[in-house]
């Protein structure tokens, strides 16, 4: 381990003071989950681009289905990611 003035660098008072000051000036950034409104999403899923189901394209139908499955099952993202589309018929 390196030492300065006979003191290990990791416990040197000047280094410790600098690290504390750096943490104060540059606090860690907390990732915040963006707020969303369930009612607004449900209204959007009821609009023309998501229905009627016989006329909607596969992409919008997939989005709608995935969202409703995620909402109703309260699965984690990793569990939803594990769903396989290879077993679906063409």
Q: What is the DSSP string of 34-90?
A: PP--HHHHHHHHTSGGG-STTTS-HHHHHHHHHHHHHHHH---HHHHHT--STTS--
What would the two tokens of residue 40 be? 């607004």
The predicted model gives 64-73 an average pLDDT of: 84
At residue 88, what are phi and psi to the nearest 5 degrees?
A: -75, 140
Q: Are 44 and 51 in contact (CB under 8 A)?
A: no
Output the pLDDT for position 28: 87
Q: Is the pLDDT of residue 84 over 80?
A: no
2 against 1, higher pLDDT: 2
Residue 89 CB neighbours (<10 A): 3
């Amino acid at each position: 381990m390196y030492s300065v003035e006979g003191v290990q660098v990791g416990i040197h008072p000047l280094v410790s003071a600098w690290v504390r000051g750096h943490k104060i000036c540059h606090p860690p950034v907390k990732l915040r989950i963006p707020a969303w409104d369930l009612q607004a999403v449900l209204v959007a899923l009821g609009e023309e681009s998501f229905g009627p189901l016989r006329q909607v394209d596969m992409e919008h139908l997939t989005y709608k289905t995935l969202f409703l499955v995620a909402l109703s099952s309260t699965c984690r993202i990793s569990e939803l990611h594990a769903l396989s589309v290879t077993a679906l018929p063409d």
